[in-house]
Structure 1
Amino acid sequence: MSDPGAALLLRNARLPRWLLPADWPGQGGVPGLADIALADGRVQSVLPARPGAAGAGGAAETWDLAGALALPGLVDAHLHLDKTFTLPRLGAVEPGLLGAIDAMMRDKAGWTPGDVRQRAERGLLWAWQAGSVHLRTHCDWWDPAQQPIAWPVLRELAEDWQGRVRLERVNLSPLTLYADRDWAWRTARDVAASGPGARLGGFVHSTNWDPQALMHLLQAAQAFDLDVDLHCDEELNAGAQGLAGVVATMTGLGFEGRVVCGHVCALAAKPEAEAFALLDAVARLPITLVALPVTNLLLQDATAGRTPRQRGLTLVKEA
């Protein structure tokens, strides 16, 4: 073992091929098992397992995984912990995204800090037990006059779960609110002041499209050194302009590599040539895209009494 000071040695771990170098030994096309040395919460070395090797090579503790699969900690890049476990109390919900938003708005009237904390922490626990170590949650921030009650609760949970899960928080505000430049700057200031892991976000949709508001959002984020995470084009409208607007606004702004666009379902509705040209522009900047297949399969092309025709998934493979 090359790391005699390792705190933990994981012996005989099975690693996916994409984690291993091309010259990793194997048999019959199957990669051989690995010994993984860990110390101070980090991987110190990954070496081919030595069959029959005795002892821990100086490691404080040794676990024999006996060929079990070992993976890096999982990342869930788009959550809504403030909304978790509300379904049983929502009652009848109209199909589709806007119906889901209306139902959540009604439920939100009864939220308390204790209610949000109990539900969100339950979601955190489930994610951690499933192997997730890095989460990003969006938090509804629809009232222009005040912070939502969930925002400080999520910050407290981020602090409480340090060492187990890294929790980032994004304010989810309608793009229309950013049309007020003063509000955009105040909100970015408040988000930045709320502690580490805070990001600036917005809901960008054809029903609220406003290029000037988007400019204010990105400029405010840049002014307060905040990464941006947008709900963008969460619809199957070929004319949706959100992603193209983000590309146009970011070009020349000097804010490249700091923006995530989630959902971007409308890409799947655009003509291929237009969609591919837009994806090329996204890659050049670059902008990170996050797909949410389960959510979009449920909420897109959903109308009462009508069978959905479209899946609602963005162009993951093409991107």
Structure 2
Amino acid sequence: MDLIIRDASLSERGELRHADIGIANGTIVAIEASLQADAPARDVGGCLVVPGLIETHIHLDKTCILDRCRIAEGTVAEAVRETAAAKRNFAVDDVYARAKRTIERCISHGTMRMRTHVELDPGIGMIGYDAIEQLKRDYAWAVDLELCVFPQEGLTNYPGTEELLIEGLRRGARTIGAAPYFDADPQAQIDRIFAIARDFDAEIDMHLDLAETLDNMQIEYVCRKTEEYGWGGRVAVGHVTQMSLLPPERFNAIAKQLANAGVAVTVLPSTDLHLMGRRQDHAIPRGVVPLEPLRAAGVTCSISTNNVLNPFTPYGDGSLVRMANLYANVCHVSRPDHLAGCLDMITSDAARLMRLDDYGMRIGGVADLVCLDAHDPAEAVSTLAHPLWGLKRGRPSFTRPRPVLHAPR
């Protein structure tokens, strides 16, 4: 045995217990009280230890570009327009340097698995892909990085984009995305994405229904296509801010449809709060979908960051605990079990969305562990608990010491 984590607080199916964790060769080999073994030990004093945090939806290729863009309207259209103009001057080294800043922030906040969306179109070519592919190799010691190729500026109306998406999949991307609300024919884009996913046996992760009205919602169509293709459990949709505007009867009907089809939902609270409600001068909608009723209906849900320091989201430090706390604030989450559920949506539920078979606090699982400065999941979310340290495959990946107060003597 290489290491024993002693007196860890563990949450299993809503129950809290204290145990020691034995690690050997990057794998969890024991979880039991008062583990008897001869190995170096680290006593965490009852702090909460969880599997590595999971970022299911982020954009590393267009992070940290506020100095190149203007935010005057704060709308989705402006964000796409400003980013499109900026990315035409991107270079591989530039994308890499900016993405490196953000991925290192994410690592320091406990993220160990990540799905990053990468824009491909004739305006940017494979520049973003090349940079993030190199980043994936260079940071494999700390993060398992999955690339999702997608057409931000349209597919059916942007000749040459489909060929680039296919090239990305051929080069190893295992997920294809979409943004049908910026296509001249949204349903035609959805149709093509499903067809390409079937050809390459790829996962699907769409930006969907990001709008401030109920016009042209596509979520029910995506559910039907998922069932048609037999892709249940392999489709996720992000944003879906239009669902936050629905009356309960239709909301619940769509929740059931999502669950039956096997379509997961990712909420991106920072981005959705920033971009939505720009048309109103009072009673401004928040645009963040409440996930508790979706989870109760059987929908797999995650909370994620989306963008960092760009026109889509001019904020961000890479903290998923902060995203979980922000979501809890916006959606009036207060029950301890629901607060704990927010932590699930950046750990175990996020792993289910990404179909990660080796994930979890279990014997035989990979030793990707994060120690949070809290004693239970609800406290971790409500207090914005700092990750104190992390192990990636049993090897230290980051340390974040507690602050020290210096009282006068």
TM-score by length of 1: 0.83
- Please name the residue that 2:285 is paired with: 310
1:236–1:268 Cα contact (<8 Å) kept: no
2:11–2:17 Cα contact (<8 Å) kept: no
Q: Specify the code of the residue in structure 1 equivalent to 2:73.
A: E
Q: Deviations over 1:37-92 (max 9, x none)?
A: 11222222211247xxxxx6122x21111222212100011111112111233234
Give the Å deviation of 1:309: 0.6
**Cα distance in 2 between the residues matched to 1:254 and 1:221:** 11
Q: Specify the code of the residue in structure 2 equivalent to 1:202.
A: A
3-state secondary structure, aligned to 1:312: coil
Q: Deviations over 1:179-211 (max 9, x none)?
A: 799964x3453122212x531111022764432
**Cα distance in 2 between the residues matched to 1:188 and 1:113:** 18
Q: Deviations over 1:288-317 (max 9, x none)?
A: 1100111101111124x9456100112312
- Please name the residue that 2:189 is paired with: 213
- The change in CA–CA distance for 1:100 and 1:64 in structure 2 (over 3 A counts) is same
**Cα distance in 2 between the residues matched to 1:264 and 1:285:** 16
2:88–2:124 Cα contact (<8 Å) kept: no
* RMSD of aligned residue pairs (Cα, Å): 2.5
- Please name the residue that 1:204 is paired with: 180
1:179–1:216 Cα contact (<8 Å) kept: no
1:175–1:213 Cα contact (<8 Å) kept: no
Give the Å deviation of 1:121: 0.9
After superposition, residues 130-279 of structure 1 pair within 5 angstroms as 130-143=109-122, 147-174=125-152, 176-178=154-156, 184=162, 186-195=163-172, 197-205=173-181, 208-279=184-255
Percent identity between matched residues is 23
2:149–2:169 Cα contact (<8 Å) kept: no
Which of 276, 282, 291 is the aligned partner of 1:300? 276
Q: Specify the code of the residue in structure 1 equivalent to 2:232.
A: E
Q: Specify the code of the residue in structure 1 equivalent to 2:57.
A: H
3-state secondary structure, aligned to 1:81: coil
| Structure 1 portions without partners, runs of 5+ | 1-5, 21-30, 51-55
2:236–2:263 Cα contact (<8 Å) kept: yes
- Please name the residue that 1:16 is paired with: 11
Give the Å deviation of 1:231: 0.3
Aligned residues: 294
Which of 272, 277, 287 is the aligned partner of 2:263? 287
Higher relative contact order (Cα pairs below 8 Å, separated by 6+ residues)? 2
- The change in CA–CA distance for 1:181 and 1:107 in structure 2 (over 3 A counts) is closer
- Please name the residue that 1:23 is paired with: none
**Cα distance in 2 between the residues matched to 1:182 and 1:104:** 19
TM-score by length of 2: 0.66
Which of 53, 63, 69 is the aligned partner of 1:84? 63
